[in-house]
A and B are shown apart, each in its own frame.
Chain A
Amino acid sequence: MNLPDACVHPQASDPPVPNQSGGIRGDRLSLLACSDPKVLAHALLPWAETERTWLRRPETGLVMVQGRTGGTGARFNLGEMSATRCTIRLNACGSTGVGWVSGRNAKHAELIALADALLQSPEHRDAVCTQVIEPLIEMRHATLEAAAALAASTRVEFFTMTRGE
């Protein structure tokens, strides 16, 4: 996963309306959803007591996963996976955050929603970026590199020497 620089350094032009699909917010939500819940909980400890209201309590359901043959073929239903979602509103600034996570970890979904809401609050945005998002990006890169290194060590080079004629 390649994370754009904007993910690390928030721009003033970040959309205030939380409707965007994908983009910077989508990248961050993806990063949070792929993170280790324990690490995320630890990183969010300074905000753990932030007053919040549930717009939607964590609920687990099934999501139909679709695929395309070869990435370009016709869309087909691959199968269902469980997913958990929730929505939080911060009482102080009124910003609303959503958290979606694969599987059934409701606490993880709550942490993501909290981080998402904080990231939309001008008051908390910078601190959350430096204390939560940046470390997570580093960890993510490290994990990906370790996996790549592990795979690289098993690589077999195939080459053919010219046979004598």
Chain B
Amino acid sequence: MGVDLSLVCKGFEDPVQDAQRCFRTILSALSQPGTVGCLDNIALHQPPDRWSKSAWGVAMTLLDSDTRVWLSPSLATTVAHASLQFHTSCNMTKNPAEADFAFVGHPGEQPDWSSLRQGEPEFPDLSATIILQVPGVTVVEPSELSGGESPPTKVAPNVCPNVAPNASSSSTLQLQGPGIEHARQIRLERGAEGRWAEQLRLALVANRSQFPLGVDLLMVWSNRLCAIPRSTRVAAI
């Protein structure tokens, strides 16, 4: 296996500690769907072009020689290939149906979710995880939720304070299920790609319908991430 070392870019500054902090953040995000995790405390320098810091951190943390990885066209640069193989020894695949992890540069590049590995009834864990770079996600504070009773705010570790979302250029999803006390709402920022939020909702609903099979979604942007695992029920607001 030859890796052109002149292309390789840096991974974690402190591989053991940073990978553990990053893993904890991913775990928290997956176990509390609809919360936003921060990788602020992790030193990540110069990810490859078009890779967000959090996508790069997730790759450095979760990939190893036992995982097969698919990169969407905008992420599949020679630098990314060389760096991933150098730091993680992961196996690259050109076929999304074979991948354990699918890294997607922007919502328009998503493969058909049903073509990804969905797991098997005996082994639902043999499924793919999608790491999707998005323009942004904000959590709607419980006080903003319409309706009388609002669940008490619990600030989980590694959860960021929210920035006031711009409702006019985003669309809102309501999340329910394991890890969510009552309901959580997140706003997907529309960005340059218009209707991706609606398409994502349809994909999530179809994904949920075949539970316990299905794929898990990690949305990443900047140095933040937000997870919607297959156990979460999604509805439009």
Contacts and interface: CB of A to CB of B under 8 A. Distances in A.
Interface of A: 17-19, 21, 53-57, 59, 87, 94-96, 98
Interface string B1-44: 01111101011000100000000000000000000000000000
26 contacts: A17-B4, A17-B6, A18-B4, A18-B5, A19-B2, A19-B3, A19-B4, A19-B5, A21-B2, A54-B10, A55-B8, A55-B10, A55-B11, A55-B86, A56-B11, A56-B86, A56-B87, A57-B15, A59-B15, A87-B5, A87-B8, A87-B86, A94-B6, A95-B6, A96-B6, A96-B8
A55 B15 contact: no
**Which of A21, A59, A94, A96 has the most B CB atoms < 10 Å from its CB?**
A96
Contacts, number: 31
Contacts of A54: 10
Interface residues of B, number: 11
Contacts of B11: 55-56
B47 to A, nearest CB: 14
Chain A contact residues, majority secondary structure:
strand
Nearest to B13: A54
Nearest to B2: A19
Contacts of A17: 4, 6
A63 B170 CA distance: 52
Nearest to B14: A57
A17 B86 CA distance: 16
B10 A18 contact: no
Contacts of B6: 17-18, 94-96
Nearest to A18: B5
A19 B6 CA distance: 10
Given A53-B10, A55-B10, A96 B5 contact: yes
Nearest to B5: A96
Contacts of B5: 18-19, 55, 87, 96, 98
